[in-house]
Structure 1
Amino acid sequence: MGRIEKRRSSTLGGVFMRYVLVVLGALFILVVGIILIFSILINTGYIYPANYAEQKINEEYESIRNADEVTEDMIPPLCHYVIFSLDGKKLSGNMPEELLEIAWNVAENGKASGHYFYKVISRPGEYVVLQYSLTPQYRSAFLREYVIDPQNLFTIILVLGTILIIIFPSIRFGKKMKTQMLPMMSAVGRIKEKDLEYDVSYCGIKEFDDCLESIDEMRIALKDSLEQQWKTEQDKNRQMSALAHDIKTPLTVVRGNAELLSETELTEDQKKNVDYIIDSTLQIQSYVQKLIEVTRSAQNYSYTSEKVKTEVFLKNIRKQAAGLAEVYHLKINWRENWSSEIIDLSDEQVTRAVVNIIQNSAEHTTQNGVINIYAEEQDGKLSFTVEDTGQGFTKEALQHGTEQFFMDDTSRSGGNHYGIGLFSAKTIAEKYGGNISLTNSEETGGAKVKICFHLRQDNI
């Protein structure tokens, strides 16, 4: 796997600048188009220019002033008018009633208010006031009546066009950016899925391509690191397997001599001690065999369950605890509470987990000390609580005591302790959907460990 050759790339700033130029260009075309259409409509006469009414008033000014009588047909288009007597009385006109006061104020004082414009024509005995606006108007009376004026119409078109010009290029720009980012997102996704065998494809944007190069360098470094880690793990497993094979030889010798010794005449205490030796040797040989199997295929190692008699299972653990008590010169207080005659678990694995905890307590309890063990089976769970009269856990041990190879030599020292027992017990408990907790006992002042296993088959 390698890298696909880079294609010519643009900067992110250049891409954004092209987007800005496209938007500005489209806005320019929109404005020019509106102005051009507006001019064509004015030139063709469909729309009157803004000063059309004012021009017509100037053209008709003299004729209105000198006419014998002013009639409505003499009023220029787009205008309203009113004729006042000299004392302000309305004589005629079509100007809206609400604007008459403003029109008279214009005729009398020359002052106007509002958004309309006014032209006053003085005639003998009367004033003619013309009202008009300086905005483009449709030539069609129907359009003037029912459609908004051209100026506001083109303003609305300009605003809507501007919004559309901003929205659509932005959507297109966003889709393009998303497409350009796909190679980077794909690379991150492949690494997340632990797939480190893929070709890097560049997107054509310099900043993104530089990021892809960094990701690819990280991928290569991660791949090399994992391969090295795998090789190291394989070497360690081979060494452990070889060591386990080497341990089997002296164990066989110990077991053989213990069996030979058991055939001689022994006292009751001696016979009991030899039985402990033989049973422990058999147990160690079983553990060594499992260690060999685990190191050969750690990933395929499984915890198979089986149905066992609760009484027999607990009796076996109690017997091993008694053997440890003999070796370390301790006293075992054993309590048990169970209701199910048969339980479903891996006899060997759960036994090993519990015995590891008991041995951990035995190693850290002074001679003639006491270990309290309480076994309880209830509601589909099996739990063991082990507490001793040792010095207890330190704060650090309470946090990290179940981690592999953790050794707290400051308080619970003594014996050949390699930080594996509690870690192994935790691993087995979690395989059964259970857990392990470390505390200090209020009753004994020493360490207290509780381990729990779920007995349901589907948790294994």
Structure 2
Amino acid sequence: MSKSEPFDEKLIPFTCTYGLFDHDKKYLSGNLDEESKKDAVIYLKNPKSAEKQYFCVERKNGYCIVNYDVKAHFASHFWHKLFPNLEAIILISFIIFFITILILSSLSFGKKLKKELRPLLEQVEQIQKRELSFEIKYSKVKEFNDVIFSLDHMKTALSQSLKKQWEAEQERKFHIAALAHDIKTPLTIIKGNAELIKEENVLSEIYHHADSINKSSDKIERYINLLIEVTKNNTVLVTKPETMNLQEFINKIIAESENLCKAENIILLYEKVEFNVVIKFDKDLLLRAVLNIVKNAIEHSFSGSKINLYFSCSDDEFCVKIEDFGTGFTEEALKNAKEQFYTEKKQRAEEHYGLGLYIADSVAKSNGGTLELYNKSGQPGAVVRLTIPIDRLKK
């Protein structure tokens, strides 16, 4: 390039421009534009002051100034003309390639994710339909397996709950049918005795038949009350509170309990107490709860045995405790005696449908109280303790 005479333009790379200057820095020839000519002169005077990139080749009669750029170019003249800005093409190509890879990866990941989610979605759908007999399928994703494992536990709990509800409903239907059937017995007695009264002339016999009718009528009434209780399965107890004297209420409990005990030849013992307290409560509901406990004690007591009745009232609570000297609770009964329809008797007996302690417990719970069951220590018999918070009873 320094010795070429005349100067050969082919020595200059096609991506560059050049200019020939004499020693006085006068432009002689080349393909520099006007702006580059002026900038090249500045470069010859002070290389650091030029705006563009140049390199200088000293010749015999002057200088050859070559203008170049710091960019990537194709070595082929053809490809250079076709893609003059290679760096921009590379950058755009990289962006397009990156976006393509991202889209393809997203589609692939979504497909795999959907595949791994399928067992989870299928099991959720099965649970929504309450079809709980399906087999648990796990995925290859640990987090999904954690959710599926939780769903398995939920499925088991739901299955047990539905089974328990179904069994309770079947039990309820059974007892409704049984009570309806049992009502036929006293009705038959009433009907038969009514027919006998028509034919009987002896007054004592008429009284006897009338007494049988009266007892059977009472039995029908009790059966109907039991039937009502059964149909109220799991319903909320509706209370009708009224103001009353606590001592009068206790006296009524004692009187009713004595009548129940006398009918079964049981001796009722109780301490005389004086509670000058006015309370506001559904007396019929609370009386019903206490009498159900007394009935339960009578059922498990022997003829001629005793039942103790205790009352206590503090600033915090009112408590009734019933103690019998019968067989006591079995381990099973201590766990299940407060459940509806639970009974230790293998065969269904008259009026014994496993509702007594369930009713008492329901009354206690509906008023924020408790019903405790336990056996006496060192002697036969059981204790049932009904406690109601006093702040619920104060006027």
Could you tell me the TM-score, scaled by structure 2's length? 0.48
Could you tell me the TM-score, scaled by structure 1's length? 0.42
